[in-house]
Chains A and B, each alone.
Chain A
């Protein structure tokens, strides 16, 4: 989702806690860790509908992380972010790829340049490996 969906009248922190209602996960520590990494501590107490697109995008990535899924499928995670925040997100996703499968669609492949990244290009509906994409 390029436009992450949150319950607008709830604070970001409450939105992040919703998944704990349905799963018996204690994700407090992991949430705190990645909140710092994504540099979104300042928006946790804000209502979602007053956050910018970039802030929500990062909060959405955090929501994906604390879900503790083995595969993260992310559509343009840097779409609403400035260059600095894009770098932060890209770095974090690269780190996460050490333990999870992270699949990202992006128009800024250079941000995700790291040792273990496989770049795929879609051509005529078929994936082609293309590590010279950058």
Chain B
């Protein structure tokens, strides 16, 4: 029976401040949702970077170069010299990471290309060589969109005309490379839209079998010539192209690279997707600083709002508290009633955490729209519990201070007639 009376009293007091309580719950829900979004943001960094990286078709293909820092007069300026690693050196790494494909870098020659599709030349196409064992030629969505701007694409059959006309010097002898081929474009790959550039995907097999197989001299193919170049030859582009068989193999390789590299010398692994991930991480770090500042403002703002609402709510029911004091309630009991009233708001606002399962797909959808990758976000529930506890603790401290300040004086005078 006492419990029923207690609930009736609590409900009565709660209804007296219904507008303030509603306001408090709304602010608490807003704070909770904001905190959840921050939590999703902070805990999604690794997943996002990983998903973004795996979203590139050439994810398992990298360029590998050796670097050495050059002494300079200014310690702030870091000048590096590059050279192509020897195949033996890479083989020594291969022993640890199992075999992976090492091919010469065709980039210097591919700079001289011309690409025509449906009678239109597509400028600034990045030829991306992938390790997959396929003869199919594909483009990415950025390439397709670029082409679509130039010509209306009526059917899916697109023929790619590929030209290279350049000269190279072999033992001071000028050799003309005049190469033409045509390939059907058989697929369009939706890579992450994060700073996406038009790309043409060609497998290493196709390059080796076509461009790499042209004879520069009797008995000397382009492929062999490039493979046996001096490590510091400009045409080597100072690097080898390496194709891994799996993500695990690549991870092992990257681990070794990190172990053997330092400021002075080491291995540099590069590639379009690696540059994108690095720029994404830099952007993320910058955003993190902004988010942390914003988070601090949200927390301070919420605390101020909690204090104002909790204080005015207490002032409104001070007369009722005085009645309870007259009826024999100790200050501890009055505090418990006040606490109960605030905890109701806290519990009601905690309903916002039920939104969490649907919030994550929404954030994933936004990221999908922004970056073109579908990220399955996972939340750090330990952090969530910690955050919730900190929220409750802050609230308890605040309302205790408010209560103590308001209960310094006797309450009885509030019941005396005017």
Chain B residues with Cβ below 8 Å from A18 are 5, 9, 323-324, 327
Closest chain-B Cβ to A65's Cβ sits at a distance in Å of 13
Closest chain-A Cβ to B240's Cβ sits at a distance in Å of 82
Within 8 A of B (CB), among A45-76: 63, 67
Contact of B329 with A21 in the complex, beta carbons under 8 Å: yes
Q: Contacts A21-B2, A21-B329, A22-B327 hold; do A1 and B417 have CB atoms under 8 A apart?
A: yes
Chain B residues with Cβ below 8 Å from A2 are 417
Bound-state CA distance A30–B79 (Å) is: 96
Contact of A14 with B5 in the complex, beta carbons under 8 Å: yes
The CB with the most chain B CB atoms within 10 A, among A7, A10, A63, A67, is that of A7
Closest A residue to B5 using CB positions = A17
Closest A residue to B415 using CB positions = A5
Closest B residue to A69 using CB positions = B328
Chain B residues with Cβ below 8 Å from A7 are 9, 12, 320, 323
Q: Contacts A5-B323, A7-B9, A7-B12 hold; do A22 and B415 have CB atoms under 8 A apart?
A: no
Chain B 299-343: CB-based contact to A (< 8 A → 1; otherwise 0): 000000000000000000001100110011110010000000000
Q: Contacts A2-B417, A5-B319, A7-B320 hold; do A22 and B328 have CB atoms under 8 A apart?
A: yes
B319, B320, B327: the one contacting A19 at CB < 8 Å is B327
Chain B residues with Cβ below 8 Å from A67 are 327-328
Sort chain A's interface into a size bin.
10 to 19
Chain B 8-33: CB-based contact to A (< 8 A → 1; otherwise 0): 11001001000000000000000000
* Number of residue pairs spanning A and B whose beta carbons lie under 8 angstroms apart: 48
Chain A residues with Cβ below 8 Å from B77 are none
Does more than half of chain B's interface fall in helix, strand or loop, or is it mixed?
A: helix
Contact of B9 with A21 in the complex, beta carbons under 8 Å: yes
Chain A residues with Cβ below 8 Å from B416 are 1
Q: Contacts A2-B417, A3-B417 hold; do A21 and B15 have CB atoms under 8 A apart?
A: no
Whether, in the assembled complex, A95 has its beta carbon less than 8 Å from a beta carbon of chain B, the answer is no
Bound-state CA distance A20–B1 (Å) is: 10
Q: Contacts A2-B417, A17-B1, A21-B6 hold; do A10 and B328 have CB atoms under 8 A apart?
A: no
A3, A9, A22: the one contacting B330 at CB < 8 Å is A22
Bound-state CA distance A62–B48 (Å) is: 70
Closest chain-A Cβ to B189's Cβ sits at a distance in Å of 67
B8, B323, B327, B417: the one contacting A14 at CB < 8 Å is B8
Chain B residues with Cβ below 8 Å from A1 are 415-417
Chain B residues with Cβ below 8 Å from A23 are 328
Bound-state CA distance A31–B320 (Å) is: 22
Bound-state CA distance A17–B327 (Å) is: 10
A3, A14, A22: the one contacting B329 at CB < 8 Å is A22
Interface residues of A (CB under 8 A from B): 1-3, 5, 7, 9-10, 14, 17-23, 63, 67
Interface CB pairs A-B, < 8 A, 27: A1-B415, A1-B417, A2-B417, A3-B417, A5-B323, A5-B415, A7-B320, A7-B323, A9-B12, A10-B9, A10-B12, A14-B9, A17-B1, A18-B5, A18-B324, A18-B327, A19-B328, A20-B2, A21-B2, A21-B5, A21-B6, A22-B324, A22-B328, A22-B330, A22-B333, A23-B328, A67-B328
5 nearest A-B residue pairs (beta carbon): A19-B327, A22-B329, A22-B328, A17-B5, A23-B328
